[in-house]
Chain A
Amino acid sequence: MVDISALTNSAGYLLEGVLVTLLLVALSLFIGFVCGIVLTLGQVYGPKVIKKLVGIYVWFFRGLPNIVLLFLFYFALFPFMGLDLPAFFVAVTVLGMRSAAYQSQIFRGAIESIASGQMLAARSLGMTKWQAIRSIILPQTLRLSLPGWSNEYPVLLTDSSVAYVIGVAELLTRTAQVISRTGEPMLLYLSCALMFILLNYGGMMLIQLIEKKTHIPGLGPEGGEA
């Protein structure tokens, strides 16, 4: 018989885990977004040496499994640098840096699909390169990136549970702790799975809403990229 009280007694504790997971994903996405844009601009508009460095960065972070990166930074690199950082902080940093590598390639694809003539036109009006990037290239890049970007959220959400291995008290970690206390794996893993599905669904709805709100005729997948 499934003992439902195993779930109800720990509901608060588990819901806190949901919040930790959400915070972990949101912060990683944000770091990945900001760093991803910087990486993209470096790769597309920067001097040769910057392009090369960005290439190495992307290659490194996309080439290693999440769990290896987490161990590497948490148990080796940060301690070697004399930094004693909380597990949550390390997880956000590593997932964020890894996401930056992926996001930078989404943004790069979008920038490259924007006709280069628009940059020329902006410069011909007396705009500086930076003004053109800010008011013309970036707004279009972000809109064009949304479809690719909507893939990054579920990936990061599911990847976030790997933070378990360094003891971040996120949803999976807490679920495992409750199971070891109550011996109810079926109920608790199912509810854990359900929470992930709901988080996934909610996030996707939000992204779709943003896509709809920011849609511009002729820009993006529906209108074709003119």
Chain B
Amino acid sequence: MTEPILRVENLTKTYGDLEVLKGVSFDVYPGEKKVFIGPSGTGKSTLLRCINLLTEPDGGSVYLNGEEVTNSGRKINDYRQKMGMVFQNFNLFDHLTAVRNVELALLKVKKMGKKEAREKALFELERVGMLDWADHYPAQLSGGQAQRVSIARALAMDPEVMLFDEPTSALDPELKREVMEVMRKLAAQGMTCLVVTHEMKFATSFASEILLMEKGEIIERGKPEDIPTSPSFERMRAFMGAYTEE
């Protein structure tokens, strides 16, 4: 068996009296697509942010390729590059065109030369079908386009894992599709993905494993093809049913 690319051990996080994460553990192997579902406010987004330490977990550990990410001090900036993150609200830099959004971290963090960075940025924009929009500002893009640029921005750092935090929640149905297309393409290229989503259809067709979270814990997990029949996925079926009936 290969080594896990990412290991999450017993992560805990508390906000005031609220235990958002109650000791979450799982391993992610290269090329896996783990999709986290569950009611709102059950710690899914917090979990993703604790993995790259955008939110500091209270306890537990995260390992990337066997190296500890938690308690890594200044090295955290190296690890973050290897874990690309995509946000619900895109979070593009409003004062920079699409291509400059993608190349900024290449210049500042990877210290690439201008020409090299520009080439890489254009390559990544092409990968998400946004090459024609390279010189547009975020305000001139649709939500779906903006999200694709933000995916290109994360991909430019050559991450080993991609973290998607509700990447389609802020988009209307038609725009969701174009973002999902890009994600599928990435997955087909072998990218390891962790996704938080409320899109049940997408989850079942995309995931290699679906994990149901409730009240800060993973309560059921399994392959999407086993969910409709296996007796151990009762809660999952109820939750997914409630969502697709909406």
User: How far is B80's CA from A121's CA once the two chains are assembled, in angstroms?
Assistant: 11
- Interface contact B137-A124, CB-CB below 8 Å: no
B80 contact from A118, A124, A139, Cβ within 8 A: A124
Residues of B within 8 A of A226 (CB): 94, 138-139
Instruction: Tell me the complex Cα distance, A115–B77, Å.
Output: 21
Is the beta-carbon distance between B81 and A140 smaller than 8 angstroms? no
Asked if A120 is at the interface (CB within 8 A of a chain B CB), the reply is yes
Cross-chain contact B91 with A121 (CB below 8 angstroms): yes
A125-B157, A126-B105 are known contacts. Are A219 and B87 too (CB-CB below 8 A)?
Answer: no
Measured between alpha carbons, how far is A81 from B52 in the docked complex, in Å?
Answer: 51
Chain A 116-139, CB-CB to B under 8 Å as 1, else 0, gives 011011111111100100011001
Taken residue by residue from 189 to 207, chain A's Cβ proximity to chain B (1 for < 8 Å, 0 otherwise) reads as 0000000000000000000
Task: Give 1 or 0 for each of B92-115: 1 = CB within 8 Å of chain A CB.
Answer: 111100000000110011000000
B147 within 8 A of A: no
Q: How far is the CA of A123 from the CA of B92 in the complex (A)?
A: 12
A126 & B87 in contact (Cβ 8 Å cutoff): no
Q: A117-B89, A120-B87, A121-B87 are in contact. Are A126 and B80 (CB under 8 A)?
A: yes
A216 to B95, Cβ gap below 8 A? yes
Indicate if A217 sits at the interface (CB-CB under 8 A). Answer: yes
Please give the distance in Å from B167's CB to the nearest CB on chain A: 13
Does B139 contact A136, Cβ atoms closer than 8 Å? no
A216–B52 alpha-carbon span in the complex (Å): 32
CB closest chain-B residue, reference A140: B95
Interchain CB contact under 8 A, A124 and B138: no
Chain B interface residue bracket vs A = 20 to 34
> A residues within 8 A CB of B58?
none
- Do A219 and B93 touch (CB < 8 A)? no
Residue in B85, B93, B139 whose CB lies within 8 Å of A124 = B85
Q: Which residues of A contact B154 (CB under 8 A)?
A: 124-125
Q: Are A125 and B81 in contact (CB under 8 A)?
A: yes
Is A174 in contact with chain B by the CB < 8 A criterion? Answer: no
Q: A127-B108, A135-B104, A217-B140 are in contact. Are A121 and B77 (CB under 8 A)?
A: no
Inter-subunit contact A125/B153 (CB<8 Å): yes
What is the 8 Å Cβ interface bit string for chain A, positions 8-36, against chain B (1 contact, 0 not)?
A: 00000000000000000000000000000
Within the assembled complex, what's the spacing in Å between the Cα atoms of A218 and B92?
12
0/1 interface trace, chain B 47-58, chain A, CB 8 Å (1 if under): 000001010000
Residues on A with beta carbons closer than 8 Å to the beta carbon of B108: 127, 131, 135
Question: Taking the nearest CB of chain B, how far is it from the CB of A145, in angstroms?
Answer: 13
Contact of B94 (CB < 8 Å), options: A125, A128, A219? A219
Indicate if A82 sits at the interface (CB-CB under 8 A): no
Which residues on A sit within 8 Å (CB–CB) of B157? 125-126
Which B residues touch A118, using CB under 8 A? 91-94
Complex Cα–Cα for A216 and B105 (A)? 20
Would you call B91 and A128 a contact (CB within 8 A)? Answer: no
Q: List A31-80 residues whose CB lies under 8 Å from chain B.
A: none
Of residues A118, A120, A124, A218, which shows the largest number of chain B Cβ atoms within 10 Å of its Cβ? A124
Give me the interface of A with B, judged by CB distance under 8 Å. Answer: 114-115, 117-118, 120-128, 131, 135-136, 139-140, 143, 216-219, 223, 226
CB pairs A–B below 8 angstroms (30 shown): A114-B94, A115-B91, A117-B89, A117-B91, A118-B94, A120-B87, A120-B91, A121-B85, A121-B87, A121-B153, A124-B52, A124-B83, A124-B84, A124-B87, A124-B154, A125-B105, A125-B153, A125-B157, A126-B78, A126-B109, A135-B104, A136-B104, A140-B93, A140-B95, A217-B140, A218-B137, A218-B140, A219-B139, A226-B94, A226-B139
Binding site for A on B (CB under 8 A): 52, 54, 77-78, 80-81, 83-85, 87, 89-95, 104-105, 108-109, 137-140, 150, 153-154, 157
In the A-B complex, the 9 residue pairs with the smallest Cβ-Cβ separation, listed nearest first, are A218-B139, A117-B91, A121-B91, A126-B81, A125-B105, A124-B85, A126-B77, A126-B80, A126-B109
